[in-house]
């Protein structure tokens, strides 16, 4: 879900020689099999950024929330953004939500280099420990059963030109985080006309026949529930000659810090340690418990 609340300076662009090559090819998920021209193995966004000859410095940083002070900054911009567009829901967002503190959840914060003020935020919830928030309202498609999923919510930004840049960088940061955590599908929900932003990025409607669906965690406002296949994203952008390709894949942004890539163990068998029972609606979809892959918290 995306809300916007105002002014930008242009980012600084530098050109560098390419970094040493590494092997980063990964297989596309079954849901998008055959959609990449020639059946080529997609290349990961992180790899493309490491090999990029173009570097862009931003007038702000984007990082993970690490403490209560960081979270309060994120909540401030979250509330201000929602207050402009959905004031009834914003009344419930003046304080941190319980979800902000859960295992498997991180909060992203964009803050100005000039004065440290918050410019944008987003929250990423994985299904490592519990069902996604969207599953309070819908049963996800059966082809997603057993997948490592993440839902991007509470995306709020300042308005104007700066806000548009912050939004784009937050989305890139979310993609990077999902990729590093082994997420296969990133889910986002948008009200009209915000849903068009996701559609333009090649998110796909999970329920095209239903259209806009009221979501309990979004004030029961109608949203389109959409998903993005992380592994095949760069190849699909390349195939579509997408205008976002250079920004997302061929430009390094050192001011985005999603932390180091985690060391992943083999999938565990049986019920994940610390996992909570799924809500009745999600359980009815036949989802299996997922292996322990994501252990990050909103903050330590």
pLDDT per residue as tens digits for the range 97-153? 999 999 999 999 999 999 999 999 999 999 999 999 999 999 999 999 999 999 999
Query: Strand, coil or helix: what is 58?
Result: coil
pTM: 0.76
Residue with tokens 């806000």: 163
- In this prediction, the residues of the chain whose per-residue pLDDT falls under 50 are 4-9, 13-42, 263-300
pLDDT computed for residue 2 by the predictor: 53
| Six token digits for residue 12 | 């600084």
pLDDT computed for residue 46 by the predictor: 81
How many CA within 13 A on the CB side of residue 120?
33
CA–CA dist 1, 123 (Å, integer): 10
pLDDT computed for residue 277 by the predictor: 35
CA distances from 231 to 34, 119, 166, 186, 204 (A): 13, 29, 23, 10, 14
CA–CA dist 274, 271 (Å, integer): 9
The CATH fold of domain 40-260+276-284: Aminopeptidase (3.40.630)
Helices H, strands E: what count in the chain? 8, 13
How many angstroms from the chain centroid is the CA of residue 99?
Answer: 15
Domain edges within the chain: 40-260+276-284
Given a contact cutoff of 8 angstroms between Cβ atoms, the answer to whether 34 and 69 are in contact is no
pLDDT computed for residue 141 by the predictor: 96
CA distances from 194 to 157, 174, 182, 226, 293 (A): 13, 17, 27, 12, 31
């Amino acid at each position: 879900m995306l809300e916007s609340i105002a002014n930008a300076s242009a980012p600084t662009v530098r050109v560098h020689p390419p970094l040493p090559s590494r092997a980063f090819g990964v297989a596309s998920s079954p849901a998008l099999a055959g959609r990449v021209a020639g059946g080529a193995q997609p290349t990961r966004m992180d790899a493309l950024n490491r090999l990029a000859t173009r570097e862009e410095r931003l007038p702000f940083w984007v990082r993970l929330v690490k403490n209560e002070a960081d979270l309060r900054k994120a909540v401030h911009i979250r509330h201000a953004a929602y207050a402009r567009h959905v004031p009834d829901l914003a009344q419930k967002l003046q304080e941190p939500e319980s979800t902000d503190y859960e295992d498997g959840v991180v909060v992203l914060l964009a803050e100005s280099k000039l004065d440290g003020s918050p410019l944008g935020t987003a929250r990423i919830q994985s299904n490592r420990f519990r069902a996604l928030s969207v599953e309070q309202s819908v049963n996800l498609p059966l082809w997603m059963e057993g997948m490592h999923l993440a839902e991007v919510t509470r995306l709020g930004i300042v308005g104007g030109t700066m806000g548009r840049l912050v939004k784009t960088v937050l989305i890139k940061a979310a993609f990077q985080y999902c990729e590093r955590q082994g997420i296969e599908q990133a889910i986002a929900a948008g009200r009209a006309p915000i849903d068009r932003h996701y559609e333009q990025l090649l998110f796909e409607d999970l329920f095209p026949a239903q259209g806009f669906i009221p979501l309990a965690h979004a004030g029961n406002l109608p949203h389109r529930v959409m998903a993005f296949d992380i592994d095949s994203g760069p190849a699909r952008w390349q195939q579509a000659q997408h205008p976002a390709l250079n920004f997302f894949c061929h430009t390094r942004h050192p001011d985005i810090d999603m932390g180091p890539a985690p060391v992943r163990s083999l999938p565990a068998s049986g019920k994940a340690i610390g996992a909570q029972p799924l809500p009745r609606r999600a359980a009815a979809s036949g989802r299996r418990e997922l292996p322990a892959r994501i252990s990050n918290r909103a903050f330590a």
